[in-house]
Amino acid sequence: MLTVTHLSKRHPNAARAVFDELAFTVAAGEIVALVGESGVGKSTLLNCIAGLEPADRGAILIGREARDIARLDEAARAALRAASIGFVFQAFHVLPTLTVAQNIAVPLLLSGIAPGEHRARIEALLARVGLAGFAQRWPPSLSGGELQRVAIARALVHRPALILADEPTGNLDPRTADEVLALLLERVREEHASALIVTHSQHVAQRCDRILTLTPEGLQ
């Protein structure tokens, strides 16, 4: 579902590369944890995979059609993200001026899924993330755990091939973090998606199928 080959990245005016000649694969249905020390380039790698930062060299093949996001223009990258990638962030990033249902509907609208399906999908997902009856609630009235559940529903609603999660439990207390992580893994597996989860937490990493460790020397 995700194949990275010969990926290199160097920041302008930096003495050394952030990473060089990286190569790894995340198979269909596989959940992979990406760990590493702060500043080693985990977020930069995630940004490159999402097409938010350009890589200097290499290929990033995404989805069932294995399209190389590194070779697409900005509009095509946006279209590929809309169709094939779901995102979960540490800071939740739920739009405060849209209702819970509208937040979850955003990927459906962007990926062009028929409007007739929206309501059923949203209600089903809300039930599965434990937020049945929250559809018309406004984000400012929700707790951190609830917000992250909304974000998980939003990441899965358009049935993407790949989920990219950046410290999905970083802003939650241990008990809520555990619940949210369980929910995320369960729903990803249920949807038969692949996932790459960037985390500092060994506890989170241990629950994934595989762990990749990014070091200044490369992936281990």
Partner 1 sequence: MSRPAWRLSWWLIRAQFMTRRTATALSMLAIALGVALGYAIHLINTAALADFSQAMKSVQGEPDAVLAAKDNAGRVPLALINEIARDPAVAIVAPVIETRVRVDRTADYAADRTADHAAGRAAAPVKLIGLDIFSAAAVMPKLLPRQDSSGAGMFEDGVHASPALLSRLQLKVGAGVTLTRGDARWRTRIVGDLPAARPDDLLLVADIAWVQARFGPPDAVSEGRLRLMPGTRLASWLETWAGRLPAGLTLRAAADDTQRVSNISRAYRVNLNVLALVALLTGAFLVFATQLTAVAQRSTQFALLGVLGLSPRMRLLQVLFEGLAIGMPGAALGLALGYGLALAFTRVMGGDLGGGFFSGSTPVIEARLLPSLGFFALGCAASLAGALYPAWLNRVQPLAQALRTGFAQRPPAVHGLDARPRRSVLIAIALLALAALGLTRLPAFYELPLAGYGAIALVLVLGIAAAPPLTQIVFGAFARRALSAPQRVAVQNIVQAPLMAQVAASGLIVSFALTVSMVTMVSSFRLAVDQWLDAVLPAPLYVRSKGMPLPQELLAALEQGAAPFARIERTAHGALSLDPQRPAVVLLVRQMQRADAAARLPFTGPVVAVAADRVPVWISEPMQELYRLAPGRTLRLPLLGREVDTVIGGVWRDYSRQFGAVVIASDDYIALGGQFEVSDLALWPRRGEEAAAKAWLAAHAAGYGLDIAESSEIRAVSLSIFDKSFAVTYALEAAAMLIGLFGLAVTLAASVWLRARELATLSALGFDRAMLTRAVMFEGALIAGIGLGLGLACGVAIGAILTHVVNPQAFHWRMELTVPWLQVLLGAALTLVAGVIASRFAARLATRLPAAQVLASAQ
Strand, coil or helix: what is 35? Answer: strand
Residue with tokens 């062009």: 112
Amino acid at 140: P
Segment near partner 1 (CB under 8 A); pick from 28-36, 60-68, 105-113, 208-216: 105-113
218 contacts 24 by C-beta, under 8 angstroms: no
Nearer to partner 1, 82 or 211 (CB): 82
Helix boundaries (H) for the chain: 42-49, 74-84, 100-110, 115-128, 144-156, 174-190, 202-206
Q: What residues numbered 139-178 form the site for partner 1, per CB under 8 A?
A: 154, 171
Nearest approach in angstroms of CB 48 to partner 1 is 10
Q: How far is CA 193 from CA 1, 31, 54, 64, 137, in A?
A: 8, 8, 25, 11, 28
Q: Does 38 bind partner 1 (CB under 8 A)?
A: no
Nearer to partner 1, 61 or 72 (CB): 72
> What is the 8-class DSSP label of residue 41?
S
Q: What is the C-alpha separation between 158 and 108, in angstroms, rounded?
A: 6
Q: Does 102 bind partner 1 (CB under 8 A)?
A: yes
Strand, coil or helix: what is 15? Answer: coil
Nearer to partner 1, 40 or 83 (CB): 83
Nearest approach in angstroms of CB 78 to partner 1 is 4
> What is the rounded radius of gyration, in angstroms, for the C-alpha atoms of the chain?
17
Nearest approach in angstroms of CB 55 to partner 1 is 13
Interface size with partner 1, residues (CB under 8 A): 31
Q: What residues numbered 176-195 form the site for partner 1, per CB under 8 A?
A: none
Q: Which of 18, 31, 104, 108 binds partner 1 (CB under 8 A)?
A: 108
Nearer to partner 1, 81 or 187 (CB): 81
Q: How are strands ordered across the β-sheet holding 85-89? A: 85-89, 162-166, 194-198, 31-36, 210-215, 218-219
Q: Does 75 bind partner 1 (CB under 8 A)?
A: yes
Q: Does 82 bind partner 1 (CB under 8 A)?
A: yes
Nearest approach in angstroms of CB 150 to partner 1 is 13
Q: Which residues bind partner 1 (CB under 8 A)?
A: 47, 50, 52-53, 74-75, 78-79, 81-83, 87, 89-91, 93, 95, 97-98, 102, 106-113, 115, 154, 171
